[in-house]
Structure formats: structure tokens, C-alpha cells
Amino acid sequence: MAPVTVMSSTTSVDSVPEGYRTFKGNARYILPTDQDEIDRLNFQHYIIRQLQHGNYNAPIEDSLTNGIKVLDAGCGTGRWTIDMAEDYPA
């Protein structure tokens, strides 16, 4: 496991030594904010999508096609939102 460093609001990503995971100095989000974490969250999205046979599991196909509003709350990197917007541009 890679060493951990906490970034303050004045720390530059460029100043973090290679091999260290980066974290924002923020108690509201305590997980890493580096590319490895983004990749992990996106991979998790693809696994869940595969297991449930799609991006959602509700009888709302017609509503999505007609352009209802959908709230993205806590959807990680936004990959789910992008997939849904590509499938239902309305």
C-alpha cells in the first residue's frame, strides 16, 4: 500500500512525492482524491452496472426518454451521470 499524505489548501498536487496517495485536508471527504481513486470508483460503477444489467433498475424508460430531471447525489466521479446523459440526451 502506498504511503499517505494529507494535502492542505495550500499544498500543490505537483509537490506531492511520487508514490504517495493524495487526500484533501477535508473531514467531509476522507478518501483519496488521486487518479487511482477515480479509476477505482469508475471500475466500481462498471461492476455495479454489469450486476444490475444497466444504469438503473426502475420502470422509468419512457420518462427518461421524455426528458425528466434526474438528481445525481453522491455518484462518485460522475461516470453514472455521463452514461445516463449519453443514453437519454433529453
Nearest to 18 by CA among 2, 40, 30, 1: 2
pLDDT in tens, 14-57: 565 666 666 666 556 677 878 888 999 999 999 999 999 999 99
pTM metric for this prediction: 0.65
Compute the distance between CA of residue 6 and CA of residue 21 in angstroms, rounded to an integer. 9
pLDDT score of 7 more than 60: no
Please give the residue that has the higher pLDDT: either 24 or 77: 77
